[in-house]
Amino acid sequence: MPPRIARLPVDSRGYPVPKFASWHDGVPDFRLADTAWVRRAFAENRCWVCGDTLGQYKAFVIGPMCMVNRTTAEPPCHLECAEYSVRACPFLAFPQRKRNMDDLPADRIAPPGLTLERNPGVSLIWVCKTYKLARAHGGNKGVLVTLGEATAKHWYRRGRPATLPEVLDAIETGLPALREIARVHDGPEGVRELEDLIAATFKAIREEPRWQESC
């Protein structure tokens, strides 16, 4: 456990409570983000997970579909906090784990944009120096992140580095839902743009130095 995370408060089970978790009647809910913390993290350049100030490099924990459109709804974190998250978070670490939607607060605020509820089976830590914020158009309102050029990309599955076939499968199985969203919300032009992004994504993945070194 990184020292930054070890300093966080713990819940009744002894698990560290990330800064983004919302609290209800003194009990943390890891499934729901504290919207006030989201705004502060962006405004003050703070880690989404531990709350400390970030340096020049920002690490975003995203799914494979977010790599296609380079968009996410969550603020960045330290690389070490991101690496801990993909190993410790049950949803990120276990491909079979479903999102727990039981007993959610009636007044909860859904994340901005359009969300794919599936578990993709792999996680990507996208490291970059820059990103941009923009209002979400379509779906739930709020702010979305457009990721800058990656300086590093780290793929994980089950808490360990993912293989190339696992990464490609996670992307392929998510594309039907992404294509349907583009068809419904963006029309023919949006579909064509998405296909260009998909082709560029597959090309970028196959050219990653890590896969070349493993061949």
Q: What is the pLDDT of residues 119-135, one digit of tens each?
A: 888 999 999 999 999 88
**Mean pLDDT on 143-160:** 92
Q: Is the pLDDT of residue 182 over 90?
A: no
pLDDT at 213: 56
In this prediction, what percent of the chain has a pLDDT beyond 70?
A: 86
The model's confidence at residue 100, banded by pLDDT at 50, 70 and 90, is low
7-37 b/e (C-beta count within 10 Å ≥ 16 → b): ebeeeeeeebbbbbbbeeeeebbbebbbeeb
Mean pLDDT over residues 93-105, rounded?
Answer: 65
Name residue, tokens 């709804």: 73
- How much is the pTM? 0.86
pLDDT at 215: 42
- Return the biggest CA–CA distance within the chain: 53
Paired tokens of 12: 């009744």
Residue-range domain boundaries for the chain? 3-162
pLDDT band, residue 114 (cuts 50/70/90): low
Q: What is the mean pLDDT of the chain?
A: 86
Give 104's pLDDT tier (boundaries 50, 70, 90). low
pLDDT attached to residue 148: 95
**pLDDT (mean) for 175-200:** 87
Per-residue pLDDT, averaged over 19-41, amounts to 87
Rounded to whole angstroms, the Cα distance separating 76 from 124 reads 13
Q: How many residues does the chain have?
A: 215
Give the model's confidence band at 112: pLDDT under 50 very low, under 70 low, under 90 confident, else very high. Answer: low
